[in-house]
């Protein structure tokens, strides 16, 4: 598995060709909830003060997603797109700020960030939530930051993430603990199979 990257950290990353030319910067990450992966990136110009570009970078044109840049083969990776379409797609595929509910109808919190797998996969791995206190036992804070595995999501839209009620047992407030819990869960499933 490649390293996990928080979607918020992708904003302003440069889009760079394999030849070393900076073509643009990432503005927004657009998700395809049904495919559970990044669909595309909306872009701004080469400098950070530039406005939005009427171009789009679809995920299949990405050579590699790294910590410091989104790599593409050449300028042909960017597609001309009417700015109104790019904005509409960005809003439709935005998960940050989505309300999180259990399948029992209980409000869990809101999505603060999305963790994706770097490299060539772009797979959505987990959600970082601002969880309600009831979700995190023993917390003295009104809101707490926790991680929920993507595999627990029943449905994902731009406005709502629905998880099964039992998914709250895999919730933890630290990333290493989250990775360990999910790994242990997968190990148990492998033994049971």
Residue 134 binned pLDDT confidence (cut-offs 50, 70, 90):
low
Q: Which helix (H) or strand (E) holds 70?
A: strand 70-72
Determine whether domain 7-92 maps to CATH 3.90.1150.10. no
- CATH topology match: 7-92 vs 99-192: yes
Q: Which of 6-15, 43-52, 151-160, 184-193 has the highest mean pLDDT?
A: 6-15
Q: Which residues in 142-168 are b (16+ Cβ under 10 Å) and which e?
A: ebbebbbbbebbeebebeebbbeeebb
| Domain covering 99-192 in this structure, CATH number | 2.30.30
Mean pLDDT of 71-85: 81
Q: Which of 7-16, 84-93, 157-166 has the highest mean pLDDT?
A: 7-16
Residue 142 binned pLDDT confidence (cut-offs 50, 70, 90):
very low
Domain-wise residue ranges, the chain: 7-92, 99-192
Q: Which residues in 18-48 are b (16+ Cβ under 10 Å) and which e?
A: eeeeebbbbbbbbbbbeebbbbbbbbbbeee
Q: Among 52-66, 74-88, 114-128, whose mean pLDDT is lowest?
A: 74-88
**pTM of this prediction?**
0.75
DSSP structure class, residue 2: P
């Amino acid at each position: 598995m490649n390293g996990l990257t928080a979607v918020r950290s992708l904003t302003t990353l440069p889009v760079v060709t394999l030849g070393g030319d900076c073509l643009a910067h990432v503005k927004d990450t657009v998700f395809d909830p049904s495919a559970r992966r990044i669909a595309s990136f909306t872009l701004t110009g080469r400098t950070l003060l530039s406005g939005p570009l009427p171009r789009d970078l679809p995920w299949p044109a990405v050579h590699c997603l790294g910590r410091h840049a989104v790599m593409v083969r050449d300028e042909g990776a960017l597609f001309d797109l009417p700015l109104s379409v790019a904005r509409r797609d960005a809003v439709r595929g935005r998960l940050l700020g989505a309300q999180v509910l259990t399948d029992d109808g209980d409000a869990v919190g809101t999505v603060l960030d999305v963790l994706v797998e770097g490299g060539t996969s772009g797979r959505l791995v987990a959600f970082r939530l601002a969880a309600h206190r009831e979700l995190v036992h023993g917390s003295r804070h009104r809101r707490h930051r926790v991680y929920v595995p993507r595999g627990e999501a029943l449905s994902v839209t731009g406005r709502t993430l629905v998880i099964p009620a039992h998914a709250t047992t895999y919730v933890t407030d630290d990333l290493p603990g989250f990775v360990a819990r999910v790994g242990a869960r997968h190990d148990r499933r492998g033994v049971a199979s």
